[in-house]
Amino acid sequence: MADIRPQPGIMDIELYVGGQSSLPGVRDVVKLSSNENPFGPSPAAVEAFRSAAHALHRYPSTDHASLRAAIGEVHGLDPARIICGVGSDEILQFLCQCYAGPGDEVLHTEHGFAIYRIGALAAGATPIAVPERDRTTDVDALLAACTERTRLVFIANPNNPTGTMIGTGEIMRLADNLPPRALLVLDGAYAEFVDGYDGGAKIIGQRDNVVMTRTFSKLYGLGGLRIGWGYGPQEIIDVLNRVRGPFNLSEPQLAAAEAAVRDRAFADRCASENARLRVWLAEALAGHGVPSDPSFGNFILARFADEAEALAADAWLKADGIIVRRVAGYGFPQCLRITVGDEAACRRVAHAIGTFREDQA
Ligand SMILES: *Cc1c(COP(=O)(O)O)cnc(C)c1O
């Protein structure tokens, strides 16, 4: 009789539930549930993807030299200290796999991204949720939660689903006061949406205990293609490269990502449209009595009176063909996360929430 069992921790992982993408029987659906770029990817990235289709019989590059050089050029980083992965998710998993195991603790903020917990459990480590203050990363609470077993500290800056972020001084204070065996991971999935923010690159350049992860899924509109990257101290990048599959990224992925990062005009246009419409949407919702914290990402976390109102608003929006994200699983049953769409989508969701509130009154 076989006795096949998964490793300890695996069965504690809840299956990830993604944003909904269709509404049966409803046409003209607007999807604002997965923080996707409403303008899609750069046309240059689509063209590069198409061209790469001619060589699908060839194995891809194993060292991603061309993409790393492009990222290094655009961000002013040493390409040798960049690693590319299947989404930044894969880099986050490498970090857990390489630096945490049974008996080790992995800290993440209370309302942090689900992947931190999944990665920690998959590695057999113990994930620890640390309280936030006013829906914002709390450096004092993170430092207080550190023990000699702490190996990884994950913060998303800006964070999803809160949209809030902490400043460079606070990040440095966190990095400089961690126990010697703890590595700080700055998840910069939304860093590109923050004008003048380098995702922590400068802080990393001056320390040996900080890494950052970045993605092509959000600003670059390539979530469907799965490309991300990480940057950190050389020793750490060399460790991660040992567990990375040699052919983890295909040539169409690499070519599209390189074209996307080089198309600065397109990226800048997407970022400025997002900034403009994010303010407009937040103000429109506030005008309808639905507040949100100032967001630094491409979404806002709309706060309703309670869970019942959030559920009713979600149903109202769905009936109108608008899909947003319920975030009860992130500890916000009273909230809905709404991606900043294009102007028409923002007007449509604001109008629908206005009619919902009138109907409630
Ligand atoms: C979307 C997102 C990512 C990106 O994941 P990919 O695997 O690169 O698509 C990472 N972290 C956070 C907090 C996110 O919201």
pLDDT digits (tens, 9 = 90+) for 284-293: 999 999 999 9
| 296 and 245 part of one domain | no
Atom of ligand 1 nearest to the CA of 86: 7
Phi-psi category of residue 172: left, alpha or beta, with phi > 0 → left and psi -120 to 50 → alpha: alpha
Q: Which of 16, 71, 108, 115 to mutate to test the pocket of ligand 1 (most atoms within 8 A of CB)?
A: 115
Domain stops at, among 236, 262, 288: 262
CB distance 93 to ligand 1 below 6 Å? no
| 288 and 304 part of one domain | yes
The answer to whether position 91 is within a domain reads: yes
The answer to whether position 246 is within a domain reads: yes
Q: What is the pLDDT of residues 148-196, one digit of tens each?
A: 999 999 999 999 999 999 999 999 999 999 999 999 999 999 999 999 9
| 242 and 328 part of one domain | no
The CATH code of the domain that includes 110 is 3.40.640.10
What string of DSSP letters covers 37-93?
-TT-S-HHHHHHHHHHGGGTTSPPPSS-HHHHHHHHHHHT--GGGEEEESHHHHHHH
Res 171: pLDDT = 98
| 132 and 69 part of one domain | yes
CB distance 228 to ligand 1 below 6 Å? yes
Q: Which of 117, 218, 298, 337 to mutate to test the pocket of ligand 1 (most atoms within 8 A of CB)?
A: 218
CB distance 87 to ligand 1 below 6 Å? yes
Res 173: pLDDT = 98
The answer to whether position 237 is within a domain reads: yes
Q: What is the pLDDT of residues 226-265, one digit of tens each?
A: 999 999 999 999 999 999 999 999 999 999 999 999 999 9
Distance between Cα 360 and ligand 1 center (Å): 35
The CATH code of the domain that includes 320 is 3.90.1150.10
The total number of residues written for the chain in this structure: 361
Axis-axis angle for helices 43-52, 251-262 (nearest 10): 150
- Mean pLDDT (whole number) for 261-284: 98
| 35 and 52 part of one domain | no
Please report which confidence band the pLDDT of residue 28 belongs to, taking 50, 70 and 90 as the band edges: confident
Sheet containing strand 228-231, edge to edge, reads 82-85, 228-231, 210-215, 183-187, 150-156, 105-109, 126-130
| 206 and 84 part of one domain | yes
Number of domains in the chain: 2
- Burial (CB < 10 A; 0-12, 13-18, 19+), residue 239, is middle
| 142 and 192 part of one domain | yes
Domain stops at, among 262, 290, 305: 262
Distance between Cα 128 and ligand 1 center (Å): 20
Q: What is the pLDDT of residues 61-91, one digit of tens each?
A: 999 999 999 999 999 999 999 999 999 999 9
Distance between Cα 219 and ligand 1 center (Å): 11
| 273 and 229 part of one domain | no
The answer to whether position 14 is within a domain reads: no
| 231 and 351 part of one domain | no
CB distance 192 to ligand 1 below 6 Å? no
| 160 and 116 part of one domain | yes
Inter-CA distances, 65 with 72, 81, 241, 345, Å? 10, 11, 13, 39
What are the E-state strand segments in 216-321? Answer: 228-231, 299-303
- Asked if 193 contacts 271 with a C-beta cutoff of 8 angstroms, the reply is yes
Domain stops at, among 229, 262, 295: 262
Inter-CA distances, 175 with 32, 47, 171, 246, Å? 34, 41, 6, 31
CA–CA dist 206, 12 (Å, integer): 37
- Asked if 83 contacts 237 with a C-beta cutoff of 8 angstroms, the reply is yes
Domain that holds residue 161: 43-262
Per DSSP bridges, beta strands 150-156 and 126-130 are: unpaired
CA–CA dist 199, 204 (Å, integer): 9
CA–CA dist 132, 203 (Å, integer): 22
Q: Which of 35, 110, 113 to mutate to test the pocket of ligand 1 (most atoms within 8 A of CB)?
A: 113
User: What are 218's two structure tokens?
Assistant: 């959000």
Q: pTM for the whole thing? A: 0.96
